[in-house]
Chain A
Amino acid sequence: MADLQSQDYIRRSASTMTPPSIRDHEREVAKLIDVSRCIGCKACQAACMEWNNLRGEVGHFEGSYDNPLDLNPSTWTLMRFTEWENEQGNLEWLIRKDGCMHCEDPGCLKACPAPGAIVQYANGIVDFISENCIGCGYCVKGCPFNIPRISAVDHKSYKCTLCSDRVGVGLEPACVKACPTGAIMFGSKSDMTTWAGERIEDLMSRGFTKAGLYDPPGVGGTHVMYVLHHADRPSLYAGLPDSPHVSTYVAVWKGLFKPLALAGMALTVVAGFLHWVVAGRNEVQPADEAEGQRVLHPTEDKR
């Protein structure tokens, strides 16, 4: 894909200039994952592997439905299963499809030091341009959702692309295509928000009074949203952050401190130069040499 030029960037990592963005007349897209309709079949996981030609190493059974146990460089989406006993003492099987949330204000992109290694298109998709990636792992620190994974083989960071290659030619992401229950929907963000509203209404009418849409404002909203039956407690769903935001440490480091540090260094150099101009160099004088000799050879001095 890197051979096709993109002229629809709205953000580009480690770039101080406006990225090519003339083709910005694009609708913001969103993937809506309706947790209440998911049956945990993992068709989305399989479709992701198939479309993206990803084949992770075959692992071992770990006593959990989660398979593999965690995201990795070749697993960009993962079903996470939670068995939760609700207030009535009933078991609820909460299944969440985990993966990149495609934040409107992406922490990975903010933290990335490599120009153009992470970009955001006008449709909202956050994409890793791997040939620019230097493998530092800063995106891992920037991400509030613990998504990017660095490959030990090629030292590049990987995550869900929201099938930017498919979306770019008018197709829906592979996981959406494969979902047999319609739990994963894809379209414009406004359409998906409207659709989520209908789903939430339905859930509420069935007794899930806390049902709601997960589109966290702490990261400016996301382009992957969830319909949750327990939207008041997102962390029930395998630790989905309750109020995600880019870490303050990362914000200070990449925000205020970056220009301050360079200014501090530059000022020190300028101060040195000004001292050179005002006071000038400190040179040993012939009188000093005479005094020095006198200290070293006091007897000769007496003679």
Chain B
Amino acid sequence: MSGLIEKVVIAGTLICGISMPLLVDAEVLRSSNEENGLEKWHFIAGDIEIELVQRLPDQTRALFMQHEFSREVVEGLATSCMFQTIIRNSGKSGTGQPVSIDLTRWRMQHAGKVSGIQLKEPLIESWSDADASPAAKLVVRWGMFPTRQEFLPGDYNWGLTAYAIPPGAQFDLEVNWKEDRILRSGEIRDIVCAPDVDRLK
């Protein structure tokens, strides 16, 4: 029955050109690193895998303090709820489909409010030369996850994603992606930003 519904939605999407995503049943595994206590959310739906790994604000401070950012910018980045993010197309080479993501379409829900996630382009544009040197901007340009990317089977990429909410805050995230030309969506619930304390064991 669910297969029939999926076919109807796909046909409707193709015929009408509606950009409404197809809601997909996904597996979301939540785990904790035994060594450092950091939590991870692993989203699996068909050939796409998305991993969000907590980053302590101190880790982010350590990364950006090595570069020419103002103290205010480093603090802003450190406390913007960053996750180490890995996206993979786990499809088989030769038979798998390309998967593409567009982070401008991802939506988060925090404290009853729905919003987009923090993207790197407006962040970089908001900085003056005093806030960040050109070399420092390159670190964010290449350190944060690409806003749009296509993954062929076997491809994966990693980078930082930011959610612009305080350390320790909780949110739900609607992720979406295109696979086989169909826009699909799934949800990761109860994601928790790393708190701004040293939780290393």
A is bound by B? no
User: Which residues of B are at the interface with A, using a C-beta cutoff of 8 A?
Assistant: none
- Chain A residues at the B interface, C-beta cutoff of 8 Å: none
